[in-house]
Amino acid sequence: MKKNVILAALVLLATLVLLGLLWLDKEPAVQVTTEPVAIVEPEPPPEVITTITLASVGDIMAHMPQVKAAFDPERGEYDFTPCFVPVKPLLAAADIAVANLETTLAGPELGYSGYPRFNSPAELAAALKWAGFHLVSTANNHALDRGEKGVLRTLDHLAAHGLTAVGTYRSWEERQSITMLEREGQRLAFLAYTYGTNGIPLPEGKEYLVKLIDWEEMAQDLIRAREGGADWIVVLLHFGNEYQRSPTPEQEELVNYLFSRGADIILGSHPHVLQPVKVFSGEDGQRVVAYSQGNFISNQRDRYQDSGMILFVTLEKNLTRNEKGIKAVEYIPTWVHRYRVDGRLKYRVLPVQEALLAWENGSDPYLTEADWRRLREVWEETVSWVAPEGGVRLREGF
């Protein structure tokens, strides 16, 4: 009996094994297709490209005739805003507008004065902000005209009116910081230096007050600016020879040095006349230098000293690829119009081309035939001189 049970079990096991082999040998019920399967690649994200415009002007001065002209006897206060009414739309359209402030704002108790030791009403800062400026260089030969107190009060007044200052500082710690402005995902670092302070020495132990041109320090600042994330490094230089229309070999040497150390844009001041703007092209992109941007506003009336320009540098960055480039370098000639209203002296900065058209159509009652002749001269002087090597063009429209 036991043998029969074992035999039956063995037969059953053999039958199950045979059935399993027969099942495995059958074709699968699901047919496998041999047609290729289309693979849908995800679309790359759209590239993000931003474009911003940097506007720059030269020397903003305040000689005493200008200060007196800005005083409103009825209100008993100063108002410099009329000086900038004609150019405000141009400056306000820029993403960042910068200038060289060649005076101190040290307060009335130290006495308002013009050349040779400037001190101007703080209302000038309010007017610059109103006109569209964002940043001013305070590193120039008049930075110490009212000593340490003048430097500090100037910084206070500029900050109170929402203007960023670069080139003079309150402490060593502040001096070591890199001034950055950001627009549309583009970060611009601003550095400023002057050749000197008219022989007025920096207080011992407080050399931080004004940044002088020091090649080693500038190289270190450029490194720190780039390491700090700057897409563009803008250097405002107070250098060159006064009233000389061509850059000196020393200016050219310093510009080449700063470009080799990473500067992108160099904006010059001090000569009080226009010097050429040049665009340098290299393997790593373009660089721009304006050796001197002339006088934006002053009481200087000699030929070439009564004119300047607004320089526009259009910057483009591909945020997706982290690539950048200078898209355009343009300028608009300007002229300081000195005129009288009801016997009182007035000043204003005029875009030259717009003023010429205003004379032709009679829409500006304050322009005389003598003004028209000088405007034509300024136009010729500027367009024949500013961009002798190309790469820089007149800005269309105003």
- pLDDT at 397 (0 to 100): 62
- pLDDT at 283 (0 to 100): 80
Degrees (nearest 5) of the Cα angle 29, 31, 35? 170
Band (4; pLDDT cuts 50, 70, 90): low
Please give the Cα distance from 230 to 267 (Å, whole number).
Answer: 17
pLDDT above 70 covers a percentage of the chain that reads: 89
Mean pLDDT of the chain: 92
Please give the Cα distance from 356 to 234 (Å, whole number).
Answer: 33
- pLDDT at 7 (0 to 100): 47
CB atoms within 10 A of CB 166: 22
Band (38; pLDDT cuts 50, 70, 90): low
- Check whether 346 has a pLDDT greater than 70: yes
CB atoms within 10 A of CB 311: 24
Please give the Cα distance from 398 to 396 (Å, whole number).
Answer: 7
Question: What are the tens digits of pLDDT across the range 44-103?
Answer: 778 899 999 999 999 999 999 999 999 999 899 999 999 999 999 999 999 999 999 999
Statement: 49-394 belongs to CATH 3.60.21.10: yes
Rounded to an integer, the average pLDDT of 382-388 is 92
Rounded to an integer, the average pLDDT of 322-351 is 96
Please give the Cα distance from 221 to 229 (Å, whole number).
Answer: 13
Which neighbouring-strand residues pair with 192? 236
**Burial profile 169-179: b = 16 or more Cβ within 10 angstroms, e = fewer:** beeeeebeebb
Task: Please state the separation of Cα 40 from the chain's center in Å.
Answer: 45
Band (42; pLDDT cuts 50, 70, 90): confident
Domain ranges in the chain are: 49-394
* Comparison of pLDDT for 35 and 2, the residue scoring more: 35
- Check whether 1 has a pLDDT greater than 50: no
Q: What is the DSSP letter of 145?
A: T
CB atoms within 10 A of CB 195: 17
Contact 320, 45 (CB under 8 A): yes
- Check whether 3 has a pLDDT greater than 70: no
Q: What is the DSSP letter of 299?
A: S
- Check whether 138 has a pLDDT greater than 50: yes
